[in-house]
Structure 1
Amino acid sequence: MKQYSYALFLSLLTLSLNAQESFDVVTKGDNAPGFTVKTINKKTICLDDLEGKYVLVNFFATWCKPCMEEMPLMEKHIQQRLAGEDLVVIAIGREHNINELELFNERKKFTFHIAADPKRSIYKLYARKYIPRNYLIGPSGKLIYAHSGFKKGEFQKLVKLIETKLAK
């Protein structure tokens, strides 16, 4: 019976992992799909204009509990410590409009770029389902990190990766 339960568990785990992968449109090593967004601070950001820099793109929603756990850590451990001339952080509110995100950030006071994606037009270039999602784009425009969901250990791996890349 134990062998049967173990085999069933492995089968379900494999199906779950394969289903998760099917929601990814791009993965590590792919070229990052280009986009242009207008931030809540009225700045227009075009991904192509950021060539030569590292860019962290985060997809979130204000109603998403894991997103709200992750975003303060992004502010503290990435934006405040690491962002600057060589690293740009852009959080994109999936299915939100600019007005909603302006009100949201009046309370949160995040200093990274925040932009709206009300129709998922940018999100669908990267994924089909699940938030939060983080994509670290290298100076050449290739994805060097892609992950969905939030776990503190995985977030720490992202921070370490950024630290290592910026130190080079």
Structure 2
Amino acid sequence: MRKIFFFLIVLPFFILSCEKKDHENNRDLHRYTLVDKDGNPVPLPEDKLIVLNFMAYSCSACMEEIPVMKKVIQEKKYRDRFQIIAMVIDSDKGDLSDPVFPIYPNHKQNFVRFPVPGTPTTYIITPEGKKLVTIYGAVTEENFRKYLDEALEKSKKILN
């Protein structure tokens, strides 16, 4: 009889309390624009637009576009206006040693706000997370500059 009581009464309350806790944790994650694999907020600059690059170490196009993005983003026109943040989706290992192209291990919660149909996928966003430009596939120097310019124009309209 005790076993029946446990399964019918106590177990459902236990399960519901666990689900509520998970739901509360997910709600907390929504407060942040980006979170790392452990759910910690990713620090974003408040005075720059963010180039949010979703990449995979196993993606050759992703690896090839890193030096292109780093080169263009350091040009005088863009250097003080943009910050690259990369989120790796196929590994728990990030690489924060490069300040120009820091790579954080991704948390699945980021896909709610920033869907990634394939890699590389890049968003250019405001510090608050508003999407200005979405880029599917790898960039070249020429089209990356066009996307950055487009984001600058769109951000001016938002601020005015």
TM-score over 0.5 for the alignment? yes
Residue 82 (structure 2) aligns with: 87
Distance, in Å, in 2 between the alignment partners of 1:34 and 1:139 is: 8
Cα RMSD after superposing both structures: 3.4
SS of the residue 2:61 aligns to: helix
- State the Cα distance separating 1:157 from its structure 2 match: 1.8
Instruction: Name structure 2 gaps, 5 residues minimum.
Output: 1-31
Query: Higher strand fraction: Structure 1 or Structure 2?
Result: 1
Runs of 4+ off more than 6 Å: 165-168
SS of the residue 1:57 aligns to: strand
Asked which structure has the greater CA Rg, the reply is 2
Taking structure 1 as reference, are residues 45 and 128 closer, same or farther at Cα in structure 2, changes over 3 Å only? closer
Q: Does 1:111 align with 2:107?
A: no
**Alpha-carbon displacement from aligned partner over 1:15-67 (angstroms, at most 9, x marks no partner):** xxxxxxxxxxxxxxxxxx822338xxxx96245xx445311100000111111
Is the Cα–Cα contact under 8 Å of residues 83 and 89 in structure 1 kept in the other structure? no
**Alpha-carbon displacement from aligned partner over 1:111-155 (angstroms, at most 9, x marks no partner):** 3221011x5332343114211011111356421101211242533
Residue 146 (structure 2) aligns with: 157
Percent of residue pairs identical: 25
Residue 135 (structure 2) aligns with: 147
The worse-fitting range, judged by mean Cα deviation, of 157-166 and 135-144 is: 157-166
Is the Cα–Cα contact under 8 Å of residues 35 and 109 in structure 2 kept in the other structure? no
Distance, in Å, in 1 between the alignment partners of 2:105 and 2:115 is: 16
Residue 125 (structure 2) aligns with: 137
Q: Please, what TM-score do these two structures have when normalized by structure 1?
A: 0.56
> Number of residue pairs matched?
122
Is the Cα–Cα contact under 8 Å of residues 134 and 146 in structure 1 kept in the other structure? yes
Instruction: Name structure 1 gaps, 5 residues minimum.
Output: 1-32
